[in-house]
Amino acid sequence: MWRKKETKKETKKETKKETKKEEKEVYLLKQLCGDDAELYDVLGIYLYEDPVGAISKQDLTILIEEAEKSFEDGDYREARQKYMRAVDKAILEASQNLGEKGRYSTVVRDLASKTVKATEKVKETAEKEGSADYASGAGSLLEGSIRRFGFLSNRSEDVIRVASLFYNERLEELGAMGRREARRQERRDADVREQIEDKEASKRREERGEERKEMGRGERRGAEKEDKDEEKKEKQRWDARKKEGTEAEKEEKRTEEEEKERRDARRKEL
């Protein structure tokens, strides 16, 4: 889920970066949910920071079929897990198919309701068996899950509306991050090439300096001209790199503006 837990291995810098990122996502979800505290609380648990990476790649139809088979076979614990994965998949698909909000709202409502039934069966079985896990707190967790999936079923339209905005902004941001990283890598590669060229140019100057010690006046003037030409080429390379950096910054700003326009357009659509 998008509420990421910190690990001991994280450096202070990484932790600070993750905290800022998490605060941004919390603010976004709060903004989208408005004053609806219950909607925020439920979606804060069930939405993912990276939906594409976290949610099943299987076809939704297959996920549903597998969940229903497990339920029919009486394996309610497995059915519950599979229905939960199907709910996640349906919400993500809904966010990518805004023209079919009505159909997906029905799908999410039905799947969430079936998740509730499977969870109730798991709870009933645990109560009958008097399992230690149930006595130690699993019962309250299952009850909380029943309430939340009941909420998802009753408020499927609102869930899809907010999840669509949240997921599309997250996907937009992840895509932008990928593009920025690709551009940074290109600049790093260019810097490495420049460093190699600079070292080679420096080495050539040193070699010519040694050669000049043995040269006559006329030859020395020719070597000095070569040095000036080399320095001119180095300056041209530096100017080109500076221009590339400026263009990259402009491109970053243009991309951010385009992303904002797309986000605003999506919000109007919903």
More confident residue, 229 or 41: 41
Domain layout of the chain by residue ranges: 12-171, 179-269
pLDDT at 9 over 60: no
d(CA 208, CA 212): 6
Token representation of residue 117: 């039934």
What is the distance between the alpha carbons of residues 223 and 201, in angstroms, rounded to a whole number? 14
Q: Record the pTM.
A: 0.64
- The structure tokens listed for 73 are 């076979």
User: Is the CB of residue 82 less than 8 Å from the CB of residue 67?
Assistant: yes
Element (H, E) at 43: helix 37-46
User: How confident is the model at residue 254, as a pLDDT?
Assistant: 79
pLDDT tens-digit map of 22-80:
566 678 899 899 999 999 999 999 999 889 889 999 999 999 999 999 999 999 999 99
Max CA distance (Å), the chain: 104
